[in-house]
Structure 1
Amino acid sequence: MNIFLTSGTMDFMNTIRKRYPNETMVVMHGGGNSVLLHETEGKTVFQTPRRYEVISASGTLTEDGFFAFNNIPITDEGRPIFEHRFQSRIDDIAGEAGFVAYRLLRPLNSETYIVLTQWTSKVFLNLWLDSPTYKKMHETIEHEVGLDKMQHIFLSAPYVTTYKTKAEKENNEE
């Protein structure tokens, strides 16, 4: 399975989405831009996408909700360590309230992995981020991998981008 991302105006992203009704696509908005996500086993319809291989997944992406993309730039030598630890953590999040879907995305044309989570609303993402389970999961990852001593696996600081779908935006759930 692959995920392809492209950016543009909200109207253009919606036009592309409507042109391919049989494809799994989600239009989302945030940070002053719009993103179209295409999940497929085949090729993408995008001209110049950001390309990712889905290496771990849970749930089904839907057109309604709130998305968090944890962007993590990883060195080539750090990839196996990073992938092993994050693939083994999916069960920690799958049962959380408001959880919809999870994808661990391996970059095919960059160094930045994406840990993508989808929630029914931003409220549930914030509840997860404040939960003891979240804190324990990250402490365990840091301890097991020794991330506190192995900063060289990161190319730069991770960062989070968040997006709302149109339905989420209309519901005004922030």
Structure 2
Amino acid sequence: MNTLVILAHPNMAQSSLNKQVIDELNKQPEQFTIHNLYETYPDEQINIEAEQRLIEEHDSIILQFPIYWYSCPSLLKKWIDETFAFNWAYGPEGHALENKPFALLVTTGADATQYEAPGETIEDILLPFKMTFHYTNADYKGFYTIYGPTTTKEAVESAARFAGRI
């Protein structure tokens, strides 16, 4: 099974945590294709047909991104808005995502205690993704979170194992 990892981090050079996750996934190139949106689209002009083709060519999709202000980075939101097009992802003729496994692999800049208040949990923050996958009839497999600005090797390896199960 080949999994497409949509990497959406606007400043990977300053993110040791996200880099560790991607480095771990890159150890299995036969299983994971890493697609860095900010490298591919520095001008943020998304090639919708190319992105749709990438999704169609892979068995499953993981969106990997840092939590930014209780959401995702802007280019990932734009990518979803444009790539998940009417009559492709949804609508009378939109069946491209039906039963396609999707998962989220997210990182935070804070520890888990910052995401404990009602309405502010990671599950709450990621609800729009879950609803989008539901609306497009994709097979939402859940999320995995790595908390804090730094992490352990075990946490990164655990994230890779999660990704391998999608």
The structure number with the bigger radius of gyration is 1
TM-score with structure 2 setting the length = 0.30
TM-score by length of 1: 0.29
